[in-house]
Amino acid sequence: MSTSEVKKNQITLQGPQNYLEWASEMRSLLMVFGVWRYANTDVAAPVAPAVAAGTALPAAHLAEVATHEKNRDQCLGLITSFMSGIIRQNYLNEGNPNTVWEALRTAYGTPGAAGIFVEFKKIVRMQIKKNEDPATRVNEMQSIFNYLAANGLTLPNSAQAMILLSALPAEWEGFASTILATLPVTLPVPAPAGHSVMPRFKEEKKENNAFTGPSKVNKPRCKTCNGRHSTKDHIDGYKRPNAPQAGPSQPKKPFTKGKGKKDYKGKGKQ
């Protein structure tokens, strides 16, 4: 597995809200690289065999030590690479991946009531903007729902669906009302899913694009007259239909001031 594939598929640890998902994916990743046991247990370094004084250690032992250090560093590097910068700062001087793994589980895997309430408050206040792809927000919601359930707060499917519908833009109120009107109150509403919202998002985006005319910026400009046509289509003497036309010059009216009419030389007209 290449580094780019790992970075593309593995999520970054942000805190208690996505720890469970992060830990599950990280465990699988460490197994793929064959270093999971260095995070799961405190693997001791190979014990040096007894040798006579002044005798070099066997090459096989040195190879075991090198492999141990390589696997330990690789395990620690994978774990810390997928943390937010703030979390990573707490483990810069730690060299044992098992110590880091257990510290993360203690910090984010067993939150108190205050931490659970913070995540619950975040999800009920979440809003999806009109021009935003809802898939990202829906996935974030689902991650928080899973986190709450894993810590003893399981919301029924009907509550999860209503929280999702309340996060939709105001322009989608008709869409939310249609969904709720098709289901009786006594029946559990299906849990929120990205595929149920995405068709409406694509339809909304298509409708918005239908009212958007071609941009004037994209139209070619003539290098000869700077008109809104290409240079090869330029016609000498052509005037734009809406362009203001210069009419014949009109004679200036004589200057008048005060009583009577006087020309600009101050002489009264008879």
Write down the pLDDT at residue 265.
54
Stretch 204-213: mean pLDDT: 52
Residue 170: pLDDT band by 50, 70, 90 thresholds?
A: confident
Together in a domain, 30 and 99? yes
Residue 185: pLDDT band by 50, 70, 90 thresholds?
A: low
**Residue 196 domain flag:** no
- Give the number of other Cβ atoms within 10 Å of residue 112's Cβ: 9
94-103, 175-184, 238-247, range with the lowest pLDDT: 238-247
Using CA atoms, how far residue 267 sits from 97, 251, 252, 261, 263, in Å, is 106, 19, 17, 8, 6
Together in a domain, 129 and 151? yes
Together in a domain, 18 and 75? yes
Report whether pLDDT(246) > 80.
no
| Total tally of structural domains belonging to the chain | 2
- The mean predicted confidence, pLDDT, of the chain is 77
**Residue 204 domain flag:** no
Residue 132: pLDDT band by 50, 70, 90 thresholds?
A: confident
Together in a domain, 147 and 85? no
Residue 212: pLDDT band by 50, 70, 90 thresholds?
A: very low
**Cα first-last separation, the chain:** 105
Residue of 169, 115, 174 whose CA lies nearest to 144: 115
Domain extent, residue 21, equals: 3-47+60-109
| 2 compared with 17, residue with greater pLDDT | 17
Which range, 109-118, 146-155, 180-189, 196-205, is most confident? 146-155
Write down the pLDDT at residue 258.
57
Together in a domain, 74 and 165? no
Together in a domain, 94 and 15? yes
**Residue 235 domain flag:** no
Together in a domain, 10 and 103? yes
Together in a domain, 86 and 122? no
This model's pTM is above 0.75: no
**Residue 211 domain flag:** no
CA–CA separation, 10 and 6 (whole Å): 6
Residue 89: pLDDT band by 50, 70, 90 thresholds?
A: very high
Together in a domain, 119 and 102? no
- Boundary residue ending a domain (185, 203, 230): 185
Together in a domain, 157 and 100? no
- Boundary residue ending a domain (163, 185, 207): 185
Write down the pLDDT at residue 134.
79
Output phi, psi for 230, to 5 deg: -70, 160
